[in-house]
Structure 1
Amino acid sequence: MNCVICKTGQLKPGYTTVVLQRNEATIVLKNVPADVCDNCGEYYLSEQIANKTFETADAAVRQGAEVEVVRFAA
């Protein structure tokens, strides 16, 4: 499948870093499984992985994190 951003790259399974803002908090999730464009680096998350990243970020905020760096656990 071609990347919808750059239109020329191919999506390949890999890992990425996702940064999410929740209120005043910044949550960084590392090693998130994704389809990654081999040209521009744009990433695409499956619905299941996206939901897990949102849950992880929300949990960090509930625990009072302002800046949190988390290694993603599937």
Structure 2
Amino acid sequence: MKCVICKMGETAEGRVTVTLQRGDLSVLIKNVPAQICENCGEYYLSDEITDQVLKQAELSAARNAEVEILRFAA
């Protein structure tokens, strides 16, 4: 797919670290499957992966975590 940010690069499958913040909570989720632009590095998550990432972040919030670093689990 053509990158919608730089409009120059094509995306390829890879793995990224997703950082989410809400209030005092910071969650880093490593090794998340994504489509990554070969030109600018922008990444795109599928709807299914996005749902899983958000569920993991909600679990961190429910545990009252302030900073949490997780490895993505499919």
* Identity over aligned pairs, percent: 50
- RMSD across aligned positions (CA): 0.7
Q: Mapping of 1:29-48 within 5 angstroms?
A: 29-48=29-48
Residues in 2 aligned to 1:42 and 1:56: alpha-carbon distance in whole angstroms: 22
Residues in 2 aligned to 1:53 and 1:21: alpha-carbon distance in whole angstroms: 12
Structure 1 runs of 4+ with >6 Å offset: none
| Mapped pair 1:51 → 2:41 | no
Normalised by the length of structure 1, the TM-score is 0.96
Which residue of structure 2 lines up, in the alignment, with residue 72 of structure 1?
Answer: 72
Which residue of structure 2 lines up, in the alignment, with residue 18 of structure 1?
Answer: 18
Please say if residues 17 and 30 of structure 1, whose CA atoms lie closer than 8 Å, have aligned partners that are also in contact. Answer: yes
Residues in 2 aligned to 1:29 and 1:59: alpha-carbon distance in whole angstroms: 12
Normalised by the length of structure 2, the TM-score is 0.96
The Cα of 1:9 is off from its aligned counterpart by 0.7
The Cα of 1:23 is off from its aligned counterpart by 2.7
Please say if residues 34 and 46 of structure 1, whose CA atoms lie closer than 8 Å, have aligned partners that are also in contact. Answer: yes
Paired residue total: 74
List alignment gaps of at least 5 residues for structure 1. none
Please say if residues 22 and 57 of structure 1, whose CA atoms lie closer than 8 Å, have aligned partners that are also in contact. Answer: no
